[in-house]
Amino acid sequence: MRFLSRRSLDTIRSVDILVWALIWINVVGLGPFAGALAIMTADIGSFGKLFSEAMEAADSEAGRGGIVSTGGSHALGVRFGILPEVFPVLASQVLYYFEIKHALGQHHRHRRCRRHRPASG
């Protein structure tokens, strides 16, 4: 399961965002929704890579091993042993991506409004 999920995320990540935009334009039509879906699809591959690296770097035996050894299931070991350790890294990466996308959108909107503003005086 791990191998298939990583290879599928690598495949998603390897496709350029412009290609995703063309695919989504064929599916939902031309417009901002297709662009948002293209950005989301491209970011899913990047997030998958970042999240898998963060979970690999976590000390999984310390938290998960203690929970499983006391009778907890594997899912509880992941939930209470690994996720608290990697959640700050995951949250910071997601917020960083949103900040970059928002800053680029604001910059583009500011340039577009300045270009269409009538000349004064």
Question: CA-CA distance, 121 to 102, in Å (whole number)?
Answer: 33
Asked whether the predicted pLDDT for residue 62 surpasses 60, the reply is yes
pLDDT tens for 78-88 read: 777 778 888 88
Return the pLDDT at 42.
85
Q: Where are the domains of the chain?
A: 1-57
Higher pLDDT, 102 or 45: 45
Mean pLDDT score of the chain, rounded to an integer? 77
Return the pLDDT at 120.
55
Return the pLDDT at 116.
55
